[in-house]
Amino acid sequence: MIYKGNQDEYFELENVDTNNYRSYRTTMPGTLQLMWFTTDGNKLTIDGVPYVFDTNQLITLSPYHRVEYEVVNGMKLLRFNREFYCVLNHDSEVGCKGVLYYAAAKIPLISIGGMELEILETAWKMASLEFSMKDELQQEMLQMMLKRILIVCTRIYKKQGAMAGLNDDQHEFLREFTFLVEKHFREKHSVAEYAELLYKSPKTLTNTLHKIGEKSPLMIIQDRILLEAKRLLHYTKKDISEIGYELGFPDIQAFSRFFKTHAGQAASEYREMAA
């Protein structure tokens, strides 16, 4: 089921399974994705890394993620673009920026159960029914159901994921930092640059992440750069020097040293293995 508005708005709900996953278009340019698995043993490759997802596990993917379906036994898929609903402009409504979407190198993984499962099933069913309502209120109603789904998933992730146990201030700090990394990793590589954006000292940024059990800020920045480097090496034919320049390195030597240090092999070797 697909909704398309007059201003390029796009919203989609689909059931994907063994009968249609091989022919299903895995990517839509510029869309955010939510995948809710309804059976065990679903095998996906995301950014070159294999994953297995089971019943009532849910993941969210930002537009930069590359997805390949290996085995899909049962999955509910939701996709929408910025024109339909911009999570950045409406962050005060759903609070999922830097949590479900645009969260640096992480793929948010949620396990759904209990009351949250009932709420999610109800919202999904209501959104599905709304596709038959061809009137001027349809888009607004679909947006309402989408917001409800995103709010439920954000609440669950805050209780289950890396943000579990954080107070509100710590939660806001972490999601703002991870969002800034996602936004600026190509040109900002140092902790000091992000500390300045957050109006903190580098030491305060490092200590805050340490206290809440996170990786160091430098490791988070480097992980995001490495993920993008691997993605470009795996999915494009760009020269290694071009990839290094795109990721903010002054020359191919600097990029090659970074990649080998953090990936454990040369960029050319990684590309050969991924081919």
**Domain boundaries defined on the chain:** 2-160, 168-274
28 or 271, which is more confident? 271
41-86: per-residue pLDDT in tens? 999 998 888 999 999 999 999 888 888 899 999 999 999 999 999 9
Say what the pTM is.
0.84
Residue 161 has pLDDT above 80, yes or no: no
CATH number for the segment(s) 168-274: 1.10.10.60
Residue 196 has pLDDT above 90, yes or no: yes
Tell me the three-class secondary structure of the chain, residue by residue.
CEEECCCCCEEEEEEEECCCCCCCCCCCCCEEEEEEECCCCEEEEECCEEEEECCCEEEEECCCCCEEEEECCEEEEEEEECCCCCCCCCHHHHCCECCCECCCCCCCEEECCHHHHHHHHHHHHHHHHHCCCCCCCHHHHHHHHHHHHHHHHHHHHHHHCCCCCCCHHHHHHHHHHHHHHHHHCCCCCCHHHHHHHCCCCHHHHHHHHHHCCCCCHHHHHHHHHHHHHHHHHHHCCCCHHHHHHHCCCCCHHHHHHHHHHHHCCCHHHHHHHHC
Domain 2-160 CATH superfamily: Regulatory protein AraC (2.60.120.280)
